[in-house]
A and B are shown apart, each in its own frame.
Chain A
Amino acid sequence: MLRRGATGVLGTLLVWEVVARFDLLPRDALPPASSTIARAAELVVDTTFLGNVGATLWASLVGYLLALVVALPLGMLLGLSDRLYLVSSTVIELLRPLPPVGLVPLLVLVAGQGLEMKAAVVALGCVWPLLINTIHGVHATDSTARATARSFGWSRRQVAIRVVWPSAIPSVLTGVRITVSVALILCVGAEFIGGSTAGLGSWLLQQSMLPGGIESVCAGVVIAGSLGLLINGAVSALETRFAAWARREEA
């Protein structure tokens, strides 16, 4: 798995290098892989760049936590009741296609161009998949498992915490895996469109307007992609730790 991933990355870099070196694409649209990586190596110790990355990560984190704080308890509540489950599934399917980045102009008016606006975009984009996966996970809890837990003499609250929640965790983590990398993308997009003064998005925009800045832009994108990979790896580790039973059971 890891080896195949490494081969894929090396292969991509090689093709990229060849395409750029032989000018198959204009040089000012695609700098060679080697110089991009060299630039990236400079950037990861560049405090201005790191400050911008930090701003993006922070806004993404705040927005993501906001989405979790809303989605998890609400998903629990909606998933536990058959009637609310039916109603909420329909309503969410209607709300979900609203593109959060399309709401940026509106959000800029309400929340400005900084942290609050970016966090709101991230939260709006991530809350639906998280909510849907939580609702489905909670609702799909085995009815015998629930009956068993109640036969222990537990209250509905105890059953929810001790049985419904753990059995929903694999589904919740699926929601997390779908959304974490989207959170970063949404945040960068919000910075682009919303005219933020800090963050990876605004940094990329500035660089793209400098002569020869394309190398920095590509390097920045590579770094952002690597960050996304790291975060995905962390979520996979969480899934292995807390949701292995769900996958093993099917086998």
Chain B
Amino acid sequence: MKSLTKIITATGIAGILLTTAIVIADDDRYEKNERHEKGYLGKFFSKKLDVAPVKNALYKEECGSCHFAYQPGLLPARSWTKMMGDLENHFDENAELDKDVQTKLTQYLVKNAADHANYKRSRRIMNSLSKTDSPLRITETPYFIRKHNEIPKRMVKDNPKLGSFSKCAACHTYAEKGSYDDDAVNIPGIGRWDDD
């Protein structure tokens, strides 16, 4: 019994040391989160989540200041590269960044883009695009349009409390966590969405 406790303790300590070593070895704290997410935990979560949630603090700060921080897994890498190459003219807004920040964010986006992510919605979005399509809007991908075409205009564009489909988190209550389950939709000023 005692020796069993010893073995467990020893294994535990070894585990902690190993984890510490990995953490120390990795000096990029943003990268670390992503790798963690995509590793053993990623496999488990990908069954439940629609897209990988955003864990990158720099991305949240820079791409979440004007709107919801869209998950990289919602567009292909070629879309992100195109978008990041013209941030000065970003949907009629100026979103320009310092070169170093821009480079870091592009790398993060490309690495976690829909064509590089093993998540259900990412795969479906990719399947809905032809090989050369590089849409800049998630809301203009065929998959998105198909999934939202039953929602009447009065609830979105003509809804003074909403105004557009681009505000994912206004309707999808768990959007921030990477879940877009149609059972967890609550449209502002309208209420819960019932499919049946």
A binds B: no
Q: B residues within 8 Å of A by Cβ?
A: none
